[in-house]
Amino acid sequence: MAKSQTRKTIHHSIIVPAYNEGSHIYDNLLAICDSLKGRYAEIIVVDDGSTDATLAECKRAAKVRRNIKPVRLQNNEGKGASLFRGFAEARGESIVFFDSDLEIAPHYIVKLLAVMQEAGADVVAGVKDQAINRFPAPRRLMSALYRNTVKLLFDLRITDTQTGIKVFKREVLENAIPRMSVSRFAFDLELLVAASRFGYKIVEYPVEVSYVRKGGMGRMKFGSLFATFIDTLKIYFRASFWRWLEPSAGTQFWMIFFVLGVFLAGIGFAKILSPVILQPALDKVSYIIFLRFIPAAIRDPMLALAGVLIVLVSLIQLNKSLLKAFARKDRGDLAGILRK
């Protein structure tokens, strides 16, 4: 049977990354299969270098359901790497990424595929329904911290990038994956940043996520949390206006010169204005504005810190506005001309 014929028949590819899920992967794969009854779907389960019976259990499931395809990564490379590996095998026009621990019920796969159709979307991201979020407090705190960091840094219209179910049009992954480099948990974010940069229509859909792991943190370790945070900063830099601009040494010199100028002007004006500010008439006002009620030993570092924070937040917002300007269409004016 020619390759093109088979491609026509497979509509959906469900890619399931699995790391040490041996105790339940067999039942979970069958449950995913059952939720897709009557659909032309393949389930590509990628064993990410597990050290337990995960691969054997996947093969056992593949024996009873012919549309289950086990793939093995020899070494543990991370969830992102597992999904990319699975995508290399995928033949469907719509691709679903679905966690193997069934924290999310399999019936959401069909639901999100329908949402993609109805909304005419290119990407549908499941997001934890916070109203029914019963995760342990430490996990809720972690994910709230991460969600707000992503909200501050990136201009994504998605409230939660890390939930374990997403649906894509094949084209989105074909364009995005070659530009990506994160292979562990932050890959979700990098993928959504790439998809939104390409201008694809991304919608979110609330899903119920039940907590299936033991302990307050589940399988999340501080090491992987820290690594995810570092990866997030790397994604931020790689997707930043600065990286696009790749300023030459000359441009960088003028940028530093600009900052120096602002700094010197600040000191100069402070010195010029301080005798004025200390005039009895303005004393009360300057007492409050310049925090003179706080001992200098504390006040000055606080002012410096406040200044640094203001610069940081302004740069983050500036980066977002500059990148947004990117996506703007040519308005037919001189400024809108871009080199062929």
Ligand X SMILES: Nc1nc2c(ncn2[C@@H]2O[C@H](COP(=O)(O)OP(=O)(O)OP(=O)(O)O)[C@@H](O)[C@H]2O)c(=O)[nH]1
Query: What residues from 96 to 115 belong to the interface with ligand X (CB under 6 A)?
Result: 99-101, 103
The side-by-side arrangement of strands in the sheet containing 123-128 is: 68-73, 41-48, 12-18, 94-98, 165-169, 123-128, 202-207
21 φ/ψ angles, rounded to the nearest 5 degrees: -115, 25
CA angle 150, 252, 229 (to 5 degrees): 20
Region near ligand X per CB under 6 A, out of 4-12, 14-22, 267-275, 297-305: 14-22
Q: Which of 32, 13, 48, 27 is nearest to 219 (CA)?
A: 48
Among 21, 42, 47, 101, binds Mg ion (CB under 5 A): 101
Among 17, 70, 106, 126, binds ligand X (CB under 6 A): 17
Question: Can you read off the two tokens belonging to residue 252?
Answer: 């960088």
CB-closest chain residue to Mg ion: 101
122 is a site residue for Mg ion (CB under 5 A): no
Region near Mg ion per CB under 5 A, out of 100-108, 121-129, 237-245, 315-323: 100-108
Indicate the DSSP class of residue 75: S
Least separation in angstroms between residue 257's CB and Mg ion is 50
User: 255-294 burial string, b = 16+ CB within 10 Å, else e?
Assistant: eeeeeeeeeeeeeeeeeeeeeebeeeeeeeebeeeebeee
What H or E segment, with its residue span, contains residue 13? strand 12-18
Least separation in angstroms between residue 226's CB and ligand X is 14
Q: Between the CA atoms of 25, 28, 33 and 37, what dihedral angle is there, to the nearest 10 degrees?
A: 170
Region near ligand X per CB under 6 A, out of 94-102, 116-124, 276-284, 291-299: 94-102
17 contact, one of ligand X, Mg ion, none, CB 5-8 Å limit per kind = ligand X
Question: What is the size of the binding site for Mg ion (CB under 5 A)?
Answer: 2
Least separation in angstroms between residue 221's CB and ligand X is 8
Region class of 64: left (phi > 0), else alpha (psi between -120 and 50), else beta: alpha
21 is a site residue for ligand X (CB under 6 A): yes
Give the nearer residue to Mg ion in terms of CB position, either 206 or 218: 218
CB-closest chain residue to ligand X: 218
Footprint of ligand X (CB under 6 A): 17-19, 21, 48, 76, 78-79, 82, 99-101, 103, 164, 213, 218-220
